[in-house]
Copies of this chain bind each other. A is one copy, B any other.
C-alpha cells in the first residue's frame, strides 16, 4: 500500500512528541485524570460498542478464550479507570536526575531521564491495553500510536474517544495518542517502515505476531516471546509451601505467560511426597509429562520429550523432572527456559542466593508463586508489557521503562585542550 498515510501519521506523532517534551508534568497528569473521567462518563457508550464487537465475534465463531479477553464489564471498565488513577499518582519519571558529578574541568555533568519519543504499541484483543498504554506513554511524555486487534475495533474506537476527549480537556494535541483506525494489516507494515519517526515498537501478543513484527522493521522492538517458567523444589524446601506454590503456579490461571510449565524436584523428594503432589495435579485435571523417574513413581505420566522441556503449554499440562541437585536444576533452566520467571522453594538462604545469581531470568523468585510476575503486583501501577529481552527493559515494564536519558552538561566557557 502507499506509504503516505502511515508516514503522515508517524510524522504527526513525532511532532506531538516534540511538543510533549516541553509540557509540564502537571499538564500530563491532568490529561490522564481527564481520560479517567471521560472513561467513567462514557461507560454506557463503551459497553454498547463492546457488546456489538462481542456479537460479531460470536457470529464469526471466535474461540471462548478470545471472547473472554474481549469482554468488558462495568467492573472491568472501572478497574481500567482506577488503573489510570494509579498511574497518574505515581512519581513522575521525566526529568529525574539519575546521576550528577562535577568534573575536574568544572563542567557539571548530569544524566537526566527523558522520554524516548514515539512508541508504537501493537496489541491483540484485550481492550484494557489501550488506556493503560496511552496513560503510561503520557506519564513518560511519549507520543503513542496504538493498534489493537481487529475484533476489538469498535470497543477501541469508543475507548479512544474518551482518550481524545481527555487530551482536549488538558490542552494536548490529539496526535499525542493516535489510534490506528483500520483493520488493514498493510497499514501496520507501512508503519513498521517509519524508522525515521518511530523510536520503539512494543508488540503484545502471541509469538507469531511478535516474530512478524521483528522481521518487518528496523525500529527497535522490545518483545516477549514466551514464558517457560519453572518451579524448583529444593532438597531443603518447606514441603507444605512447595505444594501450594506448585499448584498455584500451574493452576490458578494456566493460560498466562507467568504460569509454571515445568516442575523440577530434588531427588530427596522423589518419593511419596512427589507422588502425592502429582496426584493432586491430576485431580485438578493436569496432564503430567515426566522424566523416567517421574514415570516410575506415577505411571499415568506420559514420557516427556525434548519438546516438552521447552514447551509453553499455556494449558493444564505440566512437565516434571527429578534432578540430582541444585546445579542440575539450574542447568535445566539455562538450557530449556525462556528467561521469563523461575522460582526456587527452599529454606536454605545460601542455596536461594545461588539460584538467584545463577538463573538468568527477568524475575527470579524464592518461596513464591511465579504468578506474581506482574507490573501491577510489583508496584509499577500497570504494565505496557513484560520484556524477556535483556536490553533496555526487562520483566514487567512501567512508565519509567518507557524513558531514556540524556547527558546535560553545563559549563562556563570550557574548551578542551
By a beta-carbon cutoff of 8 Å, the part of chain A in contact with chain B is 18, 21-22, 101, 103, 105, 107, 109, 114, 116-117, 199-200, 214, 218, 220, 222, 238, 240-241, 244-245, 247-249, 252, 334, 352, 354, 356-358, 360-369, 371-373, 377-379, 389-392, 394-396, 404-417
Q: A107-B368, A244-B415, A369-B416 are in contact. List 5 more A-B contacts (CB 8 A).
A: A22-B357, A248-B416, A365-B408, A373-B407, A394-B405
- 6 A-B interface contacts by CB (under 8 A): A101-B378, A114-B360, A214-B218, A249-B415, A373-B409, A392-B392
- Report how far A358 CA is from B412 CA in the complex, Å: 21
Interface pair A390/B404, CB less than 8 Å apart: yes
Residues from chain B with a CB closer than 8 A to the CB of A360 are 18, 21, 114, 117, 406
Taking the closest CB of chain B, its distance from the CB of A14, in whole angstroms, is 9
Taking the closest CB of chain B, its distance from the CB of A148, in whole angstroms, is 24
| Nearest residue, chain B, Cβ from A253 | B416
Residues from chain B with a CB closer than 8 A to the CB of A222 are 391
- Report how far A378 CA is from B250 CA in the complex, Å: 49
Interface pair B367/A413, CB less than 8 Å apart: yes
- Report how far A395 CA is from B408 CA in the complex, Å: 11
Interface pair B367/A414, CB less than 8 Å apart: yes
Interface pair B414/A21, CB less than 8 Å apart: no
Interface pair B409/A103, CB less than 8 Å apart: no
Interface pair B409/A394, CB less than 8 Å apart: no
Interface pair A252/B220, CB less than 8 Å apart: no
Taking the closest CB of chain B, its distance from the CB of A393, in whole angstroms, is 8
Q: Do A101 and B389 form a contact, CB below 8 Å, given A363-B406, A406-B363, A414-B367?
A: no
Copies of this chain, whole number: 2
Taking the closest CB of chain B, its distance from the CB of A367, in whole angstroms, is 5
Residues from chain B with a CB closer than 8 A to the CB of A379 are 101, 103, 109
Residues from chain B with a CB closer than 8 A to the CB of A392 are 391-392
A358 contact from B22, B214, B372, B390, Cβ within 8 A: B22
A404 contact from B241, B372, B391, B416, Cβ within 8 A: B391
Residues from chain B with a CB closer than 8 A to the CB of A218 are 214
Taking the closest CB of chain B, its distance from the CB of A101, in whole angstroms, is 5
A408 contact from B114, B252, B364, B367, Cβ within 8 A: B364
Interface pair A366/B411, CB less than 8 Å apart: yes
- Report how far A371 CA is from B377 CA in the complex, Å: 45
Interface pair A371/B248, CB less than 8 Å apart: no
Taking the closest CB of chain B, its distance from the CB of A403, in whole angstroms, is 10
Residues from chain B with a CB closer than 8 A to the CB of A371 are 415-416
Taking the closest CB of chain B, its distance from the CB of A332, in whole angstroms, is 13
Q: Do A18 and B117 form a contact, CB below 8 Å, given A392-B391, A407-B378?
A: no
- Report how far A392 CA is from B394 CA in the complex, Å: 10
Q: Do A220 and B391 form a contact, CB below 8 Å, given A367-B412, A378-B407?
A: yes
Interface pair B103/A407, CB less than 8 Å apart: no
For the complex of A and B, 10 pairs with smallest distance between CB atoms? A368-B411, A248-B415, A241-B413, A371-B416, A392-B392, A391-B392, A363-B407, A365-B409, A368-B414, A390-B404
Q: Do A358 and B18 form a contact, CB below 8 Å, given A405-B394, A406-B394?
A: yes
- Report how far A366 CA is from B411 CA in the complex, Å: 6
Interface pair A411/B367, CB less than 8 Å apart: yes
A116 contact from B220, B245, B373, B390, Cβ within 8 A: B390
- Report how far A407 CA is from B398 CA in the complex, Å: 13
Residues from chain B with a CB closer than 8 A to the CB of A368 are 107, 409-411, 413-415
- Report how far A103 CA is from B373 CA in the complex, Å: 12
Taking the closest CB of chain B, its distance from the CB of A196, in whole angstroms, is 11
